[in-house]
Every structure is written in structure tokens, then in C-alpha cells.
């Protein structure tokens, strides 16, 4: 079960600037299942490349960017600090997003959530079917690369669906707390589904880890 720390994923993964000098480097998290565990819905080749190459690259590049940022802070080089913002946002977002994504999936996933999350979905979207249809449509409609998200609006106390471009992190760019993210970058599906994103999105619902999504919702809605 997730703790309340699930509500501040982005804050945990991207440390405060004041402690950059003494921080430990970010590392690639292990998957909670084998690369082939999500087959036939997402094949092993995609999972291996996605995790060990793409996510690893975000982690490595984030560490490099943070080291450069630390040096810029020490030198009081504001121009360099500003110039590094895109790299921090892109690679930091990539690390945050994928760290959530892997736990949102499970070989024992699929179906519908239960309990308070299902009730919240019915309250805010009308039914689970309508929610699924809307998140799928938003994810299909992402132009180029990005993510479809189910998030929690803490101020309004309700669920919201949103799309983010590239690797923009949901919480850092919209304020919504991330519960469920669907990666629609082509590297997440092209080797299996080619350029037919809707087929990938139809398949991914079979491996959604509703226990994880529910735990995130429970932690953030208290």
C-alpha cells in the first residue's frame, strides 16, 4: 500500500535545489515484474527497450543536468540556471512519469477498480465506461508525443483527466496529483502496434493495476 508520499512523487524525485549539492543520484527503478509479464498486450521487446534504454536515458540525463545546475548555483550563474530548465523539466518529467507508469501496470491487472475509486469515477464521469472512453480519447488525441492522465484535483476534491505533451510531469505543470498515466510516445507501442495508437490503448486497459491506482487515490484524497 502506498503512503501519503505517493501524493508528492514529483517532489521526491526532483530534490529541492538547496540540497542538490549533497543529494544522491537518481537511479533506474526495478520493474515489479518481468519484461514479458505483460504479454500479449505489451511485448517483452518493447518493455525491455522502454525501461532499460528510454527510462534509463532520462535518469542519466537528469543526473547530468542536476550536476550542471549545482555548478551553476555555486557560480551564481543565473543564465546557465535558466538554460538548464528545459533539460531538468524533460528528463525529470521522464523519470517521474515512467516511475509511476511501471507501477500502474500489472500482469494481474485489467477489469475495473473497486471501492472508493470506482465510486469517485462514477461521481465525476458518470460511469466507468464513460471514464475509460474519455481517457482513451484524450490519449489518442495527444499530438506527437505525450501522456494521458487521470489525476486528482486536491483543491476541488475530484478526479480530472488531462493530457501532457512530451515528458511534462502532470503535477508540476497542472497541479493535479497523478494517479494513472498512459504513455503515448511511439516507443511505448510502435514495435508491436506500429502507428495504430488506438489499438495500443485498447490493449493497455487489460494490464492496468487498479490496486496501485486506488492506493494512490486513497493516499491523496484524505
Does 34 count as an annotated binding residue?
A: no
DSSP 8-class letter at 143 = -
For residue 183, say whether it is annotated as part of any ligand binding site: yes
**Geometric angle at alpha carbon 140, from 134 and 141, rounded to 5°:** 90
| Rounded-to-integer distance, Cα 173 and Cα 56, Å | 23
Report CA-CA distances (Å) from 138 to 79, 111, 130, 181: 37, 20, 12, 12
User: Is 187 labelled a binding residue?
Assistant: yes
Torsion of CA 44, 49, 51, 57, to 10 degrees: 180
For the chain, the distance separating the N- and C-terminal CA atoms, rounded to the nearest angstrom, is 15
What is the distance between the alpha carbons of residues 117 and 93, in angstroms, rounded to a whole number? 26
State the Cα–Cα distance between residues 209 and 1, nearest whole angstrom: 13
DSSP assignment letter at 23 = P
Give CA–CA dist 204/38, Å, rounded.
9
50 annotated binding-site participant: yes
Residue 121's alpha-carbon distances to 106, 117, 152, 154, in angstroms, are 20, 6, 11, 15
Annotated binding residues? 50, 98, 183, 187
- Annotated binding-site residue numbers for Mn(2+): 50, 98, 183, 187
Amino acid at each position: 500500500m502506498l503512503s501519503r508520499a505517493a501524493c508528492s512523487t514529483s517532489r521526491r524525485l526532483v530534490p529541492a535545489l538547496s540540497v542538490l549539492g549533497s543529494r544522491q543520484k537518481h537511479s533506474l527503478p526495478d520493474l515489479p515484474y518481468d519484461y514479458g509479464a505483460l504479454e500479449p498486450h505489451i511485448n517483452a521487446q518493447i518493455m525491455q527497450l522502454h525501461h532499460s534504454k528510454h527510462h534509463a536515458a532520462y535518469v542519466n540525463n537528469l543526473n547530468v543536468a542536476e550536476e550542471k545546475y549545482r555548478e551553476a548555483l555555486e557560480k551564481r550563474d543565473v543564465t546557465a540556471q535558466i538554460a538548464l530548465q528545459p533539460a531538468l523539466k524533460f528528463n525529470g518529467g521522464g523519470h517521474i512519469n515512467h516511475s509511476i507508469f511501471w507501477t500502474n501496470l500489472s500482469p494481474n491487472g485489467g477489469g475495473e477498480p473497486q471501492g472508493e475509486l470506482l465510486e469517485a469515477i462514477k461521481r465525476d464521469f458518470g460511469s466507468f465506461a464513460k471514464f475509460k472512453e474519455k481517457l482513451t480519447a484524450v490519449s489518442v488525441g495527444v499530438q506527437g508525443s505525450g501522456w494521458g492522465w487521470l489525476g486528482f484535483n486536491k483543491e476541488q476534491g475530484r478526479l480530472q483527466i488531462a493530457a501532457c505533451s512530451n515528458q511534462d510531469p502532470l503535477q508540476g505543470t497542472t497541479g493535479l496529483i497523478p494517479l494513472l498515466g498512459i504513455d503515448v510516445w511511439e516507443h511505448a507501442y510502435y514495435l508491436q502496434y506500429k502507428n495504430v495508437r488506438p489499438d495500443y490503448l485498447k490493449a493497455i486497459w487489460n494490464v492496468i493495476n487498479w490496486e496501485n491506482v486506488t492506493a494512490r487515490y486513497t493516499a491523496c484524497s484524505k
